[in-house]
């Protein structure tokens, strides 16, 4: 009997010809756009987290309790000597210490606020090309080697080999100034290790600021996290706190969540247009096929069964739309995934890691969720008009006088 | 530069917008000039030419006696030399010693009505357009401001120079056509902004004509040129000052006192937060 309903639904749909295919085409566009948007956001999410982890946060971090990465004013007090346990992690190469100090740099006679960040030139935890801090040291030249990101270099009009003065305050608040030399310019998708930051050898910065043996935070490698040394409370002294990967990625998660909500609105608008077409088709169909409905009931079909036939008929639109979407959408989405979606210049000014090109990621779960969304919503908009059938009297329906 | 200052960005931006920073700093700077020993005694009038055996500290004390007063009320014009344009801002200020100061901007229209109060190392700014009073915290005082040659902290250290520096006479020179002695000041405390300073002091009038501030490394950071020295109410006083960040290109920022009165009767309520609104 169920098979009969589906067969009837398909036959009726095919009988509608162009009207059916118009509905199916619009719905298939909505389906492909939903998959594309979600894939784009998932791709950005993956890329942003992967790059942020590689360049900035590692697999976790141990921060000085006063350190707030969004508040440069916190840097004045956010530093402390490292304990034996932390020193051991650094010496084993499983963590890298960073000391951050506010300063002013004077490139080409202009003053710009910068963040001096001291890091071990031999570190391997982060992708920063810190080896240049050793190789860039010029014999007999007192200028301290620094590396900067290409955004900083561009905005300050700096190039490799340039020398500029940097002014800062030491731990007592006394001004000091030294020359620094640009030993390297790196390109990264993570603006938070680039914008206004000068990376220099840790020991140089410690000596400059009289903060001997101190650090602002430690970036941890995968091995440290796997050992689970720091994720239990009480391991660290009161001056340090462990920040796990989830907390470090919270900003990315939050922005993706916001973006997903806004893209959902757009997808729903598109889906709504397609569903409206199905809804109209259903109403028209029930109006024009009253005699057919009356005949079904007169022949012994229950009203519920007839509602079922019409609901399935509407829902089949979505199945056809998904099939059609797969036929034309899959090659298109695959092509976009292959070439990537170029991001306009300056997109990373929002402070999140955005590559020049975003590669969408289409997971099976996301595609299935989109399929279910399209089918369920089609089912609902097909069912609502079909409910009128339950109020029909077969005799009047046969005469076409019901509605 | 692209920063991630999210948490305090709003506060910082509001302050930056409200303060019109160079103006504020300049006015306070004038109000607290010189930032050295204070005395309410009037200036000495006798032609006390510096003696060869006079110590740096004795000279500094004489400079202070000449320039300080119990209080002062003055009107000034600040000329901000930007990279592309120059603009002037006028204000009226009241100050008592160097711990209390109140200023109100008179022009241009965009700044008029903005008021600023410095009390015992704390600084508040009121802006009429936002109808808000904001306190600039200790950390924010360390920020240099909007490309000007000044920072808030330049006028907030109100300790006597003689308390924080050892001074010695290092030579004689001629500056602005006048004989000057050169004083070198070296910090005897660790928590001072400038480890070393140099002052060129008019040998006859006991007025500094130039002051240079140096980093610990010896790098010259800032220079003040004082000129247009006039005798006002029995004391010699420089009415023009050019403040220059030596690491930056440009002409620096110029302050001109257009009217000044020493030891005036200033009502106490002027130096209260109620005056800001």
Residue A104 covered by a domain: yes
Are both A227 and A274 inside the same structural domain?
Answer: no
Find the CB nearest B4 among A70, A76, A173: A70
The answer to whether the beta carbons of residues A42 and A360 sit under 8 Å apart is yes
Question: Rounded distance, CA B138 to CA A173, Å?
Answer: 12
Q: What 3-state DSSP class applies to A387?
A: helix
- Residue B2 to residue A349, Cβ atoms within 8 A: yes
CB contact under 8 A, B5 and A72: yes
For B5, the closest chain A residue by CA position comes to A70
Instruction: Tell me if A8 sits within 8 A of A309, measured CB to CB.
Output: yes
Q: Quick one: tokens of B130?
A: 């936002």
d(CA B49, nearest CA chain A) in Å: 34
Q: How confident is the model at residue B27 (pLDDT cuts 50, 70, 90)?
A: very low
Q: Residues of chain B with pLDDT > 90: what percent?
A: 23
Shared domain check, A233 and A277:
no
Decide which of A212, A237, A262 is a domain's last residue: A237
* A chain contacts of residue B245, beta-carbon cutoff 8 Å: 111
The average pLDDT across B131-145 equals: 67
Contact B8 A349 (CB under 8 A): no
Contact B219 A114 (CB under 8 A): no
* C-alpha–C-alpha distance, residues A333 and A361, integer Å: 10
Domain shared by A276 and A384, yes or no: yes
Token pair in block for residue A241: 């706190």
User: What domain count does chain A have?
Assistant: 2
Question: Among the ranges A27-31, A264-268, B122-126, which has the highest mean pLDDT value?
Answer: A27-31
Confirm whether A376 is domain-assigned. yes
Q: Which residues of B touch A194 (CB under 8 A)?
A: 2
For B6-276, the fitting CATH number among 3.40.50.150, 4.10.91.20, 2.50.20.10, 2.130.10.10 is: 2.50.20.10
Of A268-272, A275-279, B31-35, B218-222, the least confident = B31-35
Run of H or E residues at A176: strand A175-186
- Min Cα distance A260 → chain B (Å) is 22
| Number of A–B residue contacts, CB under 8 Å | 104
Among A237, A261, A291, give the residue marking a domain's end: A237
Residues A146 and A278 in one domain: no
CA distance B49 to A27: 96
Q: Which residue does chain A place closest to B9, by CA atoms?
A: A71
Nearest CA in chain B to A104: B144
| Structure tokens given for A115 | 């963040």
Q: Has residue A383 been placed in a domain?
A: yes
Closest partner residue to A172 (CB to CB) among B1, B191, B249 is B191
pLDDT at residue B213, as a whole number: 93
Does residue A61 lie within any of the structural domains?
A: no
Q: Is the minimum CB–CB distance between B221 and chain A shorter than 8 Å?
A: yes
Examine the pLDDT at A389 and tell me if it is beyond 80. no
Nearest 5°: the CA angle B64, B69, B73 is 130
**Residue A382 belongs to domain spanning:** 2-53+252-398
Percent of chain B that is helix, strand, coil (3-state, to 5)? 20, 40, 35
Question: Has residue A12 got a pLDDT over 50?
Answer: yes
B108 touches chain A (CB under 8 A): no
- B interface test, pick of A176, A188, A252, A350 with most B CB neighbours within 10 Å: A176
Euclidean distance between CA atoms A168 and B125, whole angstroms: 26
Q: Are B105 and B87 in contact (CB under 8 A)?
A: no
A242 occurs within a structural domain: no
Query: Considering only CB atoms, which chain B residues are within 8 Å of A110?
Result: 248-249
Question: Cβ–Cβ of A174/B142 closer than 8 Å?
Answer: no
**Chain A residues touching B187 at Cβ < 8 A:** 174
Q: Which residues pair with B125 in a beta bridge?
A: B116, B134
The first and second tokens of residue A157, run together, are 């009009």
Residue B22 C-alpha, separation from nearest chain A C-alpha, in angstroms = 14
- Write down the mean pLDDT value for chain B: 76
Instruction: Note whether A133 and A123 are within 8 A (CB).
Output: no
* ipTM topping 0.95: no
Half-sphere exposure of A307 (CA within 13 A, CB side): 16
Q: Domain limits of chain B?
A: 6-276
Cis peptide bond upstream of B269, omega within 30: no
Chain A interface with B: residues with Cβ < 8 Å: 68-73, 76, 102, 104, 106, 108-114, 151-152, 155-156, 165, 167, 169-170, 172-178, 191-192, 194-196, 349, 351
Read off the pLDDT band of A233 (50, 70, 90): low
CB A381 within 8 A of CB A313: no
Predicted pLDDT at B46: 45
- Point out the residue among A104, A114, A174 whose CB comes nearest to the CB of B192: A174
**Bigger pLDDT: B83 vs A299:** A299
- B6 touching chain A per CB within 8 A: yes
pLDDT grade for A224, boundaries at 50, 70 and 90: confident
- Supply the angle between the helices A18-52 and A303-339 in degrees, to the nearest 10: 50
pLDDT band per the 50, 70, 90 thresholds, residue B143: low
Q: Do A299 and A194 lie in a common domain? A: no
Neighbours of A136 (CB within 10 A): 20
Dihedral sign from CA coordinates of B83, B89, B95, B99: negative
Closest CA–CA distance from residue B243 to any residue of chain A (Å): 15
* pLDDT for A391: 73
The reply to whether A14 and A107 lie within a common domain is no
Quick one: A281 and A348 in the same domain? yes
| A181 & A76 share domain | yes
Q: What distance in Å separates the CA atoms of residue A165 and residue A146, rounded to the nearest whole number? A: 12
Question: Is the backbone peptide bond immediately before B34 cis, with ω within 30 degrees of 0?
Answer: yes
Residues A22 and A74 in one domain: no
- State both tokens at A42: 């998932």
Contact B248 A109 (CB under 8 A): yes
Q: For the whole model, what pTM was predicted? A: 0.75
Q: What is the mean pLDDT of residues A223-238?
A: 72
Indicate whether B230 pLDDT > 70. Answer: yes
Chain A contact present for B113, CB below 8 A: no
CB atoms A178 and B219 under 8 Å: yes
Q: Using the beta-carbon criterion (under 8 Å), do A196 and B193 form an inter-chain contact?
A: no
Residues in B closer than 8 angstroms to A353, CB to CB, are none
Residue A30 is assigned to a structural domain of this protein? yes
From the list B31, B34, B28, the residue with the least C-alpha distance to B236 is B34
Identify whether the C-beta of residue A285 lies closer than 8 Å to the C-beta of residue A312.
no
Mutate to test the interface with B, among A57, A69, A73, A204 (most CBs of B within 10 A): A73
pLDDT confidence tier of residue A371, bands split at 50, 70 and 90: very high
User: What average pLDDT score do residues B159-175 get?
Assistant: 85
In A, minimum Cα distance to B219 occurs at A177
Tell whether B245 is within 8 A of chain A (Cβ): yes
Last residue within a domain, chosen from A214, A237, A260: A237
pLDDT for B51: 61
**CB-CB under 8 Å, B187 with A175:** no
Share of chain B above pLDDT 70, in %: 72
Which among B215, B218, B244 is the top mutation candidate for probing chain A, defined by the most A β-carbons within 10 Å of its own β-carbon? B215
**d(CA A176, nearest CA chain B) in Å:** 4
Confidence (pLDDT) at B32: 45
């Amino acid at each position: 009997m169920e098979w009969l309903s589906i067969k009837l639904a398909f036959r009726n749909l095919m009988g509608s010809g162009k009207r059916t295919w118009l509905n199916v085409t619009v719905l298939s566009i909505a389906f492909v756009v939903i998959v594309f948007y979600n894939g784009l956001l998932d791709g950005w999410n993956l890329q942003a987290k992967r790059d942020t982890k590689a360049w900035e946060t590692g697999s976790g971090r141990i921060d000085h309790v006063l350190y707030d990465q969004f508040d440069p004013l916190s840097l004045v007090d956010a530093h402390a000597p490292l304990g034996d346990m932390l020193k051991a992690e650094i010496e084993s190469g499983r963590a890298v210490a960073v000391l951050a100090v506010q300063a002013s740099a004077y490139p080409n006679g202009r003053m710009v606020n910068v963040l001096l960040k001291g890091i071990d030139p031999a570190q391997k935890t982060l992708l920063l090309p810190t080896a240049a801090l050793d190789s860039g040291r010029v014999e007999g030249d007192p200028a301290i080697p620094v590396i900067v990101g290409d955004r900083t270099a561009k905005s300050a009009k700096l190039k490799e080999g340039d020398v500029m003065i940097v002014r800062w305050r030491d731990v007592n608040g006394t001004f000091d100034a030294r020359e620094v030399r640009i030993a390297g310019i790196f390109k990264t998708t993570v603006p938070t290790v680039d914008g206004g930051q000068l990376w220099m050898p840790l020991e140089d910065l410690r000596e400059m600021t009289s903060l001997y043996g101190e650090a602002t935070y430690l970036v941890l490698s995968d091995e440290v996290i796997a050992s689970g040394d720091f994720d239990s409370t009480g391991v660290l002294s009161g001056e340090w706190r462990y920040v796990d990967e989830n907390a470090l990625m919270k900003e990315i998660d939050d922005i993706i969540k916001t973006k997903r909500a806004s893209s959902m609105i757009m997808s729903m608008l598109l889906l709504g247009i397609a569903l409206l077409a199905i809804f109209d088709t259903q109403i028209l169909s029930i109006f024009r096929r009253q005699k057919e409905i009356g005949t079904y009931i007169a022949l012994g079909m229950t009203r519920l069964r007839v509602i079922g036939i019409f609901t399935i008929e509407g829902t089949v639109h979505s199945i056809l739309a998904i099939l059609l979407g797969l036929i034309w959408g899959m090659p298109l989405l695959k092509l976009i995934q292959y070439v990537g979606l170029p991001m306009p210049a300056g997109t990373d000014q929002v402070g999140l890691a955005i590559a020049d090109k975003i590669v969408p990621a289409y997971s099976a779960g996301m595609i299935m969720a989109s399929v279910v969304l399209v089918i369920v919503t089609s089912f609902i908009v097909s069912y609502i008009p079909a409910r009128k059938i339950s109020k029909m009297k077969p005799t009047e329906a046969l005469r076409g006088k019901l509605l | 530069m692209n920063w991630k200052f999210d948490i305090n960005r709003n506060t910082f931006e509001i302050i930056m917008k409200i303060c019109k920073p160079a103006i504020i700093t300049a006015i306070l700077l004038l109000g607290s000039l010189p930032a050295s020993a204070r005395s309410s005694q009037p200036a000495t009038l006798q032609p006390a030419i510096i003696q060869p055996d006079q110590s740096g500290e004795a000279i500094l004390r004489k400079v202070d006696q000449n320039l300080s007063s119990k209080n002062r009320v003055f009107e000034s014009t600040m000329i901000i030399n930007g990279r592309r344009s120059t603009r002037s801002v006028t204000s009226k200020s009241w100050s008592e010693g160097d711990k209390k100061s109140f200023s109100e901007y008179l022009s241009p229209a965009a700044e008029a009505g903005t008021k600023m109060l410095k009390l015992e190392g704390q600084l508040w700014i009121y802006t009429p357009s936002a109808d808000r009073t904001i306190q600039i915290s200790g950390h924010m005082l360390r920020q240099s401001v909007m490309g000007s040659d000044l920072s808030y902290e330049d006028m907030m250290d109100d300790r006597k120079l003689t308390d924080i520096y050892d001074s010695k006479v290092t030579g004689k020179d001629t500056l602005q056509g006048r004989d000057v002695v050169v004083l070198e000041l070296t910090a005897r405390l660790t928590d001072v902004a400038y480890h070393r300073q140099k002052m060129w002091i008019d040998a006859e009038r006991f007025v500094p004509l130039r002051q240079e501030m140096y980093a610990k490394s010896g790098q010259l950071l800032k220079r003040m040129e004082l000129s247009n020295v006039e005798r006002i109410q029995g004391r010699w006083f420089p009415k023009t000052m050019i403040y220059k960040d030596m690491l930056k290109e440009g002409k620096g920022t110029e302050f001109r006192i257009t009217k000044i009165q020493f030891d005036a009767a200033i009502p106490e309520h002027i130096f209260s937060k109620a005056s800001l609104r």
